[in-house]
Structure formats: structure tokens, C-alpha cells
Amino acid sequence: MGDEIPLGDKGDGTFYKVLIIDDSVFMIKQISQILQSQKFEVIGTAADGQEGIDKYKELHPKVDLVTLDITMPNVDGITCLEKIIEFDKNAKIVMMSALGKEDLVKKALLTGAKSYIVKPLDRDKILSRLKSVLSNTN
Amino acid sequence: MRVEYINPFVESSVNVLKEVLGLQVRRENVSLKSKALPVLDIAVIVGLVGQVEGRVIFDLDRKTALNIASKMNDETLTEFDDLAKATITELGNMITGRAVTKLSELGYKFDVTPPAIFTGNNMEISDVNIEALIVPIETELGRVEVNVALREKA
Ligand SMILES: [Mg+2]
């Protein structure tokens, strides 16, 4: 087990770079810790949808993966998703929301999110979903 | 308040608390109040908008809030700082999110607004004047009162 390659390892000596967008510093901390334990590099965080769009553009093309909350002040996560996809249709975005409503999940996936994880989050939930996202899109 | 609204909130409160705390939690008797309750030290408020409107308040004392935030962060927090606040706020968001998801499966369409947290004993919450359902939840870390007030839009 200990010899396993961490999920964040791209296999070329570098690690996946992540932007975390969530209005809760608790969530940012929890997601960061889980990702960092697998060697993902958190290169940016944003506390609402507008900041998320701005950070994505600023960091582009360095961002390999975005985790995106939905319920946020100012600009929500669905609008943020639309804007990021509009800017970069290849963006790899994984929604992480407390809302699991079917219409919302469908909308997010149709708009271009690669996966949708319903909070509360835990290590296994995040890592197993990211594993399939990364293997499907590479 | 319609009885269909009630169960999803009761269930999500119990189940989300169980999941994030990894502890047994117990629901006490649910009651209806015609007036909003007096608030404890800490209150998280999540607004509901759409086909129904109203709000959910999560009410707890400072010690319980700190205990729960510490457990959820897997570290001992000694003061009710920004991280502790964000943790309790997100807990309210997760419980409400799950209830709203369940209600949407039952055909009730509405959305949540970002949660807000109020602390201190001189807080005043101007409240909707509707009947509130109180769901008290006992955990090993203290008691959380979930206060739900919803009405169909006229
Ligand atoms: Mg949020």
C-alpha cells in the first residue's frame, strides 16, 4: 500500500494543480488536506463564483482541476461553471455541493462539469471520484 | 406548515450530524411554536426561496459549537474563530442542502441562500412571522436545535 503512486502524481514528475472554489474556509481546509495527502498541489482558492472565474483565468493554463461549490454569495457555482467552460471548454471541474437535486446535477453535468459530489465530503468519496475523473479525461 | 416538509429536515439533521461527527445522535420530541424561539449563543440561518419560502435556524451554545467544530476539523479549537464559524455555518448548509434535495424528489421546488452566522447574546433576528418546527438533537458533544419555518408562497 505504502508504495502506491499518489493520485496527484501526473506520472511525469509533476503533480496535478488544483483551484478550490468554496465560500467556506472549513471546506477549503478539508478539501486541501485530502488532496494534499495525495500530493495534489493547491495553487489557488476562491471564496465566491466571481473570484473563482477571475482566479481560473489568471492561473490558466496551469490549473489541471477545479473543485467548485454551488451555494456561494455574489456569483453562484453554476454561473461560475458556465463562465469557466465558456473561457476554456476543456476545464476539468468537479462540483462539490450540499445540494444533490437531480435537476441541478443534470444541469452541471450538461454544462460541462466532469463529476458531482454531494457534501458532506469524506476522503474516500473525493478520491474515488477524482480517480475516475482523471482516468476518463487523460 | 405542511407535514411533508417536516420529515426531510428531521432526517437530514440526524443523518448529517451522525456522518460528520461519527457519533450517535438522538432526536428528541419535535414541537411546533407559533413564535420564533429565543436564540442561544450561536445561530446559523439558511434562507429558502422558490415555491416555498422561509428559513432554517440552527441554534446551539458556544461550547457545543466549539466541540462540534473541533470534531469536524479533527483538531481542538479553543476559540470560536473564523474557522470554527465557517465549520458550523457549513454544517447548517449541509443539513439544509440534504433536506432540500429530498424535498425536490417529493416535488417541492426551491433553493437555498448562502448561510449566515450570528453570534453573541444581543443578536436580533428579524424573522418571518410563521409557525416554526423545533427539532432538538442531542449529541455527545451537546445539543443542537433545528428550527424550521416554511410557508407556501401566496
Ligand atoms: Mg457554499
| A2 within a domain of the structure (yes/no) | no
The nearest alpha carbon in chain A to B107 belongs to A101
Residues constituting chain B = 154
pLDDT for B4: 83
pLDDT for A1: 52
Architecture of the domain defined by B3-152: 3-Layer(aba) Sandwich (3.40)
- Cα torsion at A102, B13, B76, A41 (round to 10°)? 0
Q: Do A25 and B93 touch (CB under 8 A)?
A: no
Domain extent listing, chain B: 3-152
Taking the Cβ of residue A62 and every Cβ of chain B, the question of whether any pair is shorter than 8 Å is answered with: no
- How far B16 CA sits from the closest chain A CA (Å)? 7
pLDDT for B41: 87
Residue A63 CA to residue B148 CA, distance in Å, equals: 41
Taking the Cβ of residue A12 and every Cβ of chain B, the question of whether any pair is shorter than 8 Å is answered with: no
CB atoms closer than 10 angstroms to residue A3: 4
Taking the Cβ of residue A73 and every Cβ of chain B, the question of whether any pair is shorter than 8 Å is answered with: yes
pLDDT for B127: 58
Query: For position A89, which CATH number holds?
Result: 3.40.50.2300
Angle between helices B82-105 and B3-21 (to 10 degrees): 140
| Contact of B149 with B1, CB cutoff 8 Å | yes
| A44 within a domain of the structure (yes/no) | yes
CB atoms closer than 10 angstroms to residue A39: 14
Complex ipTM: 0.94
Residues of chain B with Cβ-Cβ distance to A27 below 8 Å are 86, 90
| Contact of B126 with B25, CB cutoff 8 Å | no
Residue A128 CA to residue A123 CA, distance in Å, equals: 8
Taking the Cβ of residue A37 and every Cβ of chain B, the question of whether any pair is shorter than 8 Å is answered with: no
Our count of domains for chain A comes to 1
Residue A120 CA to residue B35 CA, distance in Å, equals: 31
pLDDT for B152: 81
Closest Cβ opposite residue B94 in set A23, A102, A120 = A120
What is chain A written as a DSSP string? Answer: -TTSPPTTB-SSS-B-EEEEE-S-HHHHHHHHHHHHTTT-EEEEEESSHHHHHHHHHHHTTS--EEEE-SS-SSS-HHHHHHHHHHH-TT--EEEEES---HHHHHHHHHHT-SEEEESSP-HHHHHHHHHHHHHHH-
Residue B150 CA to residue B154 CA, distance in Å, equals: 12
What range does the domain containing A59 cover?
17-128
Residue ranges, chain A, pLDDT below 70: 1-3, 137-138
Closest Cβ opposite residue B93 in set A30, A71, A101 = A71
- The residue among A107, A25, A94 whose CA lies nearest residue B87 is A25
pLDDT for B5: 85
Residues of chain A with Cβ-Cβ distance to B86 below 8 Å are 24-27
Point out which residues pair with A42 in neighbouring strands: A18
Taking the Cβ of residue A25 and every Cβ of chain B, the question of whether any pair is shorter than 8 Å is answered with: yes
| Contact of A4 with A38, CB cutoff 8 Å | no
Taking the Cβ of residue A123 and every Cβ of chain B, the question of whether any pair is shorter than 8 Å is answered with: no
DSSP state, B75?
Answer: S
C-alpha cell at B52: 416555498
User: What's the CA-to-centroid distance between B5 and ligand 1, angstroms?
Assistant: 23
pLDDT for A94: 98
pLDDT for B120: 74
- pTM for the model stands at 0.94
Closest Cβ opposite residue A26 in set B87, B101, B112 = B87
Residues of chain B with Cβ-Cβ distance to A32 below 8 Å are none
Residue ranges, chain B, pLDDT below 50: none
pLDDT for B2: 75
Residues constituting chain A = 138
Q: Do A98 and B93 touch (CB under 8 A)?
A: yes
